Chain A
Amino acid sequence: MNSTASTTLKLLGLLLLACVPLSGESFYVELAAKTLVLAIFAMSLDLLVGFTGLVSFGHAAYFGVAAYAVALLSPKYEAASLWYVLPASVGLSALAALLVGFFVLRTKGIYFIMVTLAFAQLAFFVFHDTPLGGGSDGIYLNVKPTAEIAGWLPFDLDNPSHLYYFILAALVGVYAFLARILQSPFGRVLVGIKSNEHRMQSMGYLTFRYKLAAFALAGGLGGVAGFLYAVVFGFVTPELLSWHQSGNVLLMVILGGMGSLPGAIAGAFVFTGMQELFASWTKHWQLVMGGVIVAAVLFLPGGLAAVPDRIKRSLQGGGSNE
């Protein structure tokens, strides 16, 4: 796919997403908002899985830490300032990832997968079993944060379409941020580490530092998603940090095509869409979902991101045969 076609496709997608609140159907607006949040989450994991080659199976921990941080930092019956709770919760996620990364990045391969999972379970039980987290019921966020700056309210997160556009803006922001980073020398090093870490070391790169920076960055961006999730739904539960959540976001990345940011977004949409669709058909929707994912991995190894090129190639192939 050439770059103009790809840009057009992206802008069309954005336009489509921007139109969702115009439908006026609050169920769909909320569903779309939730999916956008998961798309941000999937992009943050893709930085690790798809670009640095670090398969983290505990990424929900950073999503959950930020979600809990909003709930815990907000006063019970008043609105907290967005400009305080957003950076604070994202910062806490990044900090948690920095600490965990310091230990887990000493391992590789299957051990890395297991150790990231172990730390995520640790975080899960911290919120599940200590007075801090309010047990399995979690905590309510009674009042959404306010964007008020010195008496001026640029937008109102209590208004569903304002909230939706805020999330859409966050998605665009995270996308642009990651796309830019991946073009920087830093991003090139991450991709080099994914391709051949040993060679990077023999060329003088202290790869641990780069991986740690990527891990903290991914944790922070996962925190952006966790923050938005808490704001959309108004409550947080330990389930947000569960390994199911870590697994789901990993599936979104795989489904979308590892190492592609638009792919991660598409993966989040297709995954959530299938979830809704299959759950409306049958109680055993996870069975169907599992089958589809196995099929996708078998027949679409590059994920959704590879679809446009495949279509193009099959069209060209058909043309030249005739």
Chain B
Amino acid sequence: MSEVINEGLIAAAKAAAKAAAGSAPLLVAERITRRFGGLVANQDVCVSLERGKVHVLLGPNGAGKSTCINMLSGDLPPSEGRIHFMGRDITALSAAQRSQVGIGRSYQRTNIFPQFSVLENVRLAAQSRRQQAWRIFSRAMQQQWALDKARACIDEAGLGSKVDWIAGVLSHGEQRQLEIAMVLATDAQVLLLDEPLAGMGSDESARMVEVLKRLKPTRAILLVEHDMDAVFAVADTITVMVNGQVLESGPPEQIKASVAVQQAYLGQEDSFHV
């Protein structure tokens, strides 16, 4: 049964790619599987990300969303399956190498440099694009291009007023924005965002949704999110995962109307925050 669905998904992904001439999917995961010992955390998952589109990964806790994003970002090698970026097989690349080709991610639990200023957090991200490690006598703060880039990305993520703050004292929501700025500063074409709205107040959430909308036209975004208002505000495609497998994938209207999705969710109380 799942075989058929997945074959269908691959075909659908390819068809979609052909239909949108010139906008072939940037990142394609073909039937990636991850096993931890006897546990299958992800089985035959297919995901396709296109520029200008937000692809949301939904599912109850433990559905395997984070495992999936970890495989896409290179933090976790898949047990089976291939991952392609702009037509190139990147399955064997490490997280650092994937960052270099243009895949950036943010983490579910805030992952920044708390002792550094906001500017230095993002400047380091920018610097990663032109690593000239042998130039040990140049001054980092005189690399104007990296500073300019960092400032631009901080503005883009809506943190312009906090440039000189120490990252560790920012509010939770601002730290999530900082993470976005860091991902942007690496010139990422594909953004893998693991619950960027988690733990945010409604104001902060609304601001972040604005940021996502602003980023959307020029990048391919994969979003793992529980906040349904936000999901339906930005999603172009939704993939619902249950027990490590793709239950259904399609446009928001289809997912909203899907009986299978409703059953999967409504059958489990308290796993879905609407």
A residues sitting closer than 8 Å to B (CB atoms) are: 180-181, 183-189, 192, 195-196, 198-207, 209-210, 213
Contact = CB atoms under 8 A, between A and B. Distances in A.
A205 B111 contact: no
Interface of B: 73, 75, 94-97, 99-100, 104-105, 107, 111-116, 120, 123-125, 127-129, 131-141, 143, 146, 182, 186
A187 B127 CA distance: 12
B137 A184 contact: yes
Contact of A206 (B96, B105, B140, B146): B96
B127 A195 contact: no
Contacts of B105: 202
B99 to A, nearest CB: 3
B132 A196 contact: no
B99 A180 contact: no
A196 B105 CA distance: 15
Interface of A is mostly: helix
A261 to B, nearest CB: 16
Given A183-B141, A201-B94, A206-B96, A189 B113 contact: no
28 contacts: A180-B137, A181-B136, A183-B140, A183-B141, A184-B135, A184-B139, A185-B127, A185-B132, A185-B140, A187-B136, A187-B140, A192-B124, A195-B116, A200-B124, A201-B96, A202-B75, A202-B99, A202-B104, A203-B99, A203-B128, A203-B182, A204-B97, A204-B99, A205-B128, A205-B131, A206-B97, A210-B133, A213-B133
A181 B136 CA distance: 5
Given A185-B135, A202-B111, A203-B182, 4 more contacts: A199-B111, A199-B113, A201-B94, A203-B99
Contacts of A204: 96-97, 99-100, 128-129, 186
Contacts of A196: 111-113
A210 B136 CA distance: 11
A203 B146 CA distance: 14
Contact of A203 (B114, B115, B124, B134): B124
Contacts of B140: 183-185, 187-188
